[in-house]
Structure 1
Amino acid sequence: MATKSEESVAAAAEKLEELKVNGDNTKPANGGPAEEGSDDEEEGTSTPAPTAAKKKKKKKPKKKKAKPTSQTSPPSVLIDTLFPNNSFPVGEECDYRDENLARKTNEEKRHLDRLNQDFLTDYRKAAEVHREVRQWAKDWIKPGMGLTEIAEGIENSVRSLVGHDGLTDGDAMIAGMGFPTGLGINHCAAHYTPNAGNKMVLNQGDVMKVDFGVHVNGRIVDSAFTVAFDPVYDPLLTAVKEATYAGIREAGIDVRVGDIGAAIQEVMESYEVELNGTTYPVKCIRNLNGHDIIRHRIHGGKSVPIVKSSDQTKMEEGEVFAIETFGSTGKGYVRDDIEVSHYARQADVPASGLRLQSAKNLLKVIDKNFGTLPFCRRYLDRLGQEKYLLGLNNLVQSGIVEAYPPLVDIKGSYTAQYEHTILLRPTVKEIVSKGTDY
């Protein structure tokens, strides 16, 4: 047996060995902080805790972008986004007069109206695009801007809203510009849009007509307004606007177009305007007219005079008309002038007899991209066409394409224009392009 001293030495040795293996027992086994006053605390160190197993981070789902609920400036939001499920606004509905008033409650006519939903949807979509673009343009157009900038701003906005940029074959035929943006200044009343390189600028004292069309599936909405920055021209603009509404009120199924012209003239020529101390009567431009619109063609064949006329042609159910009026401080008569910018392919005119290869090639481009919709030189430039004037002139000379020169009154005069598109529905007359602006 061992003695007590031997046992003490053995116990001490055993304790020393335990300390070597397990470390200082003053440190907690769980790796927490040392007891108060320990060496570790004094030296500012601590025993690191065991690292836990790393958890995989869950990826947060990407937030869906909220659909825009209002239009941008300049307009760029697709019109279908703002009006889902073809919920486009209905234009101003007006009852027909006299014996046609009963159409509104006639069940057969109401049934016919319901059958025309594709027709109405296309027109109302085009009309809403026109409204949003022109209301933006009215605030955006300012003196000092170039005509090319104004025209392209309007046209690019229309293309953005319908979702067709017109840069691939056939795209512009689905939806887009119904015809080029007309920007007639002062004595120039119609059919003027800038060609490439145009340096014309809108000035403070100018009166400018803004006339553009929007089409969806070939159904064209034609509407125009006039911009003037000097209030001295207000009586001229008011005369033309009120004359346009007089024509719209008179229009209807079985109405003779000559009677519409008489109503327009009576209102228009009741106004006068004072410019630089001289008073001018506002005259109807007697050789300009409103017109019917058919699919893919801005002028269908019927005209609506803006002066009294013996024309007995009647408006008919289902037709679409552009009621437009022009007033002038000049002669009230326009003639062709300056270089041509507007063109249109003539329907049903064969291309036989064309010998110039450049004309044949250009005609293919026109047929694919515009059909019978009017176009301008800038549109050919956008498509990458070069050195096309010889071929274009050959198409005009052959009668395959018609040129529409600018129409002007005498220099020094001022002209104004207002226009709306109306649908002669079986039950009511709809001013499809009507907006809060006019």
Structure 2
Amino acid sequence: MGSKTPEDHRQGPDPSSAHPIAALNPPKPAVASGLLPGVLEGQDEDGDDDGDNDKSAEPTLTLANGEPSKGNKKKKRKFSKKKAKKAQQTTPPRVPLADLFPNQQYPEGEIAEYAERNLQRTTAEEIRHLSAIKNMDAEFLNDYRKAAEVHRQVRQHVQTIAKPGISMSQLADEIEDGVRALTGHQALDTGDALKAGMGFPTGLSLNNVAAHWTPNPGTKEVILQYDDVLKVDFGVHVNGRIVDSAFTVAPNPVYENLLIAVKAATNTGLKEAGIDARISHISAAIQEVMESYEVELNGKTVPVKAVRGLSGHNILRYKIHGDKQVPFVKTKTSQRMEEGDVFAIETFGTTGTARLRDDLHVYGYGRNEGASLAGVHNHQASAKALLKTIDDNFGTLVFSKRYLERVGAKNYHLGMKSLISNGVVECYGPLVDVPGSYVAQFEHTVLLRPNFKEVISRGDDY
């Protein structure tokens, strides 16, 4: 899920906020801010050992010559052993990962060495190093690997059905039903969506719409066409640990170079990401790769441009956008990546102007941690009830109208309007380039572990 670049990015909430989710993401020091297949192990036996093999319990008869009789030896019972059947994923994927991985050990992401690392650390850096090791414990890694495995399985299915003729509503349903089935959390009961499930609203952005479009209830149905360029961007979380990954579908091969350019730029960002890596360096490398490509459309050669107004970003617990950003164009910033950071490395390339504007439609909503109901006067009762529903079911996770109505919210429009006007809830809309242009996106999540980085969402598909 793309984050707005620094000049467009809203400042974070008041650090003094007492919101419960805030405690999960303590502030960083100032220097930081500038399928392995699842196998069911074991075998079943057809019978139980009832003690007949206990030799000490066997009676002994002797012949007249004193030798033991051979005829009274008890035959040993033979047991047939059968291997337990391996659990298999269905198509579409609906078998919970708990059944595929009964030992709850999920596959690692792609392990890669850091391209560059500053080994000279100050005392403060050593403290952060120890903190990162403590935070990236077994529970942390297992939650992330489970979320990544769910994402891989669902997106691999989606890539087989995202073809001309499918509607955006059907595609969103397939993604969301798959994520909820595999995590084992249907997001129907109060608080269930906070345990595991969708990390943010499913993004299905077509053509010049770069990001943040999702099908909403009551809107006109949109059907994928042969000449469309579709960005599929969705997140999966387990216990608030969010995996963010995206890919682009273009049925018409004329857009192949556009997709190649953006994928190469994303891979460059992943390669350059690492502990102490300068974000300004990463951004410059991404832009250089992206803009070395061209695409031929309607007999004209069009340069691929790196999009401005969006950026990659670090991910905090229950918060898809943290306080660090990785633009796709050369930028001046003192920010660096650190041990323990989790980054969504994504890039957008376009055949348009590369300067995005906000569209009027609604993509989703996000709770502002630092705001309260103190200033809300209009429709206070409905606003108060709606805010309780938001806090109980989503916390600081971004959600959509579809998700809100899934947990039973009704007649919430006036209450939502009041919450938005008073800054308690933020509203997000689609970001678009000029009509007639085409935008592509690729994205992966990477964990900056103390000794190596783990591209947690990497799979065989891309």
Q: Deviations over 1:208-265 (max 9, x none)?
A: 0000000000000000000110110110000000000101111111111111100100
Instruction: Please give the secondary structure, in 1, of the residue aligned with 2:373.
Output: coil
The TM-score normalised by the length of structure 1 is 0.81
Alpha-carbon distance between aligned partners in 1 of 2:295 and 2:88, rounded to the nearest angstrom: 39
Partner of 2:141: 120
- Equivalents in 1 of 2:120, 2:93: separation in Å? 41
Distance 1:333 1:72, change over 3 A: same
Matched, 1:323 2:345: yes
Matched, 1:342 2:364: yes
TM-aligned CA distance change 1:141 to 1:66, over 3 Å: farther
Q: How does 1:107-256 map to 2 (within 5 A)?
A: 112=133, 116-198=137-219, 199-256=221-278
Matched, 1:378 2:402: yes
Match of 1:80 in 2: 98
- Displacement of 1:363 in angstroms is 0.6
Contact 1:113 1:426 in 2 (8 A): no
Query: SS of the residue aligned with 2:173?
Result: helix
Q: Are 2:117 and 2:277, in contact at CA under 8 Å, matched by a contact in 1?
A: no
Aligned to 1:422: 446
User: Could you say which residue in structure 1 is the equivalent of 2:376?
Assistant: 354
Q: Deviations over 1:295-354 (max 9, x none)?
A: 000001111111111111011110100000000000011110131121111123222232
8 Å Cα contact 2:291/2:305 also seen in 1: yes
Match of 2:111 among 83, 93, 101: 93
CA distance, structure 1, for counterparts of residue 119 and residue 231 of structure 2: 35
RMSD: 2.2
Deviations 1:356-378 (A, max 9, x none): 21111111111010000000011
Cα distance 1:115–1:238, how it changes in 2: closer, same or farther (>3 A)? closer
**What CA distance in whole angstroms lies between the structure 1 residues aligned with 2:288 and 2:136?**
38
Q: Of Structure 1 and Structure 2, which has the larger fraction of its residues in helix?
A: 1
1:113 CA drift (Å): 7.5
Residues 72 and 330 of structure 1: CA distance in aligned 2, closer, same or farther (over 3 Å): same
**What amino acid does structure 2 have at the position aligned with 1:323?**
I
Summarize the Cα distance change of 1:137–1:310 in structure 2 as closer, same or farther, 3 Å threshold. same
**CA gap 1:141/1:289 in 2 versus in 1, 3 angstroms:** same
- Return 375-384 or 318-327, whichever deviates more: 375-384
| Alpha-carbon spacing, 1:196–1:98, altered in 2? closer, same or farther (3 Å) | closer
Tell me the distance in 2 between the aligned counterparts of 1:226 and 1:312.
32
Q: Is the 8 A contact 1:262 1:307 kept in 2?
A: yes
Contact 2:358 2:430 in 1 (8 A): yes
Shift of 1:115: 6.2
> In 2, are the aligned partners of 1:68 and 1:77 still within 8 Å (CA)?
no
Secondary structure in 2 matching 1:375: coil
The percent identity for this pair of structures is 57
User: Aligned pair in 2 of structure 1 residues 243, 67: CA closer, same or farther (>3 Å)?
Assistant: same
Matched with 1:32 is none
Give the alignment of 1:51-66 within 5 angstroms.
none
* Counterpart for residue 365 of structure 1: 389
Q: Which residue matches 1:332?
A: 354
Distance (Å, rounded) in 2 between the aligned partners of 1:153 and 1:65: 33
1:352 is paired with a residue of what secondary structure?
Answer: helix
Q: What is the distance in 1 between the residues matched to 2:223 and 2:149?
A: 29
Query: Does residue 265 of structure 1 match 2:283?
Result: no
**1:33 maps to which residue?**
none
Look up the match of 1:279. Answer: 301
Residue 243 of structure 1 aligns to a residue whose secondary structure is helix
Pair 392,272 (structure 1): closer, same or farther in 2 beyond 3 Å: same
* Corresponding residue for residue 33 of structure 2: none
TM-score normalised by length of structure 2 = 0.77
- Name the SS of the counterpart of 1:215 in structure 2: strand
**Cα deviation, residue 99, structure 1:** 4.1
Deviation at 1:381, TM superposition (A): 1.8
Q: Give the superposition deviation at 1:80.
A: 1.8
Question: 1:431: which partner in 2?
Answer: 455
Q: Give the SS at the match of 2:348.
A: strand
CA separation of 1:247 and 1:99: change in aligned 2, threshold 3 A: closer
Find the aligned partners of 2:147 and 2:293 in 1 and give their Cα distance. 33
Q: Distance in 2 between matches of 1:203 and 1:212?
A: 21
The alignment status of 1:396 with 2:407, answered yes or no, reads no
Report the Cα distance in structure 2 between the residues aligned to 1:238 and 1:70, rounded to whole angstroms.
33
Would the aligned equivalents of 1:256 and 1:314 in 2 still touch at CA under 8 Å?
A: yes
Do the aligned residues in 1 keep the contact of 2:343 with 2:445 (CA within 8 Å)?
A: yes
8 Å contact from structure 1 (residues 95, 101) kept in 2: no
CA-CA distance at 1:102 after TM superposition: 11
In 2: Cα distance, 1:115 partner to 1:366 partner:
29
- C-alpha separation in 1, matches of 2:320 and 2:242: 7
2-structure distance, mates of 1:338, 1:411: 15
In the alignment, the residues of structure 2 paired with residue 140 and residue 425 of structure 1 have an alpha-carbon distance, to the nearest angstrom, of 35
**SS of residue in 2 equivalent to 1:325:** strand
2:329 is the counterpart of 1:311: no
Letter matched to residue 119 of structure 1: F
Aligned length: 372
**CA–CA distance in structure 1, aligned partners of residues 364 and 426 of structure 2:** 9
Q: How far apart, CA to CA, are the structure 1 residues paired with 2:119 and 2:217? A: 51
SS at match of 1:85: coil
Question: Which of 425-434 and 342-351 deviates more?
Answer: 342-351
Partner residue of 1:302? 324
Report the CA distance between 1:112 and its aligned residue. Answer: 3.2
Separation in 2 of the partners of 1:278 and 1:97?
Answer: 38
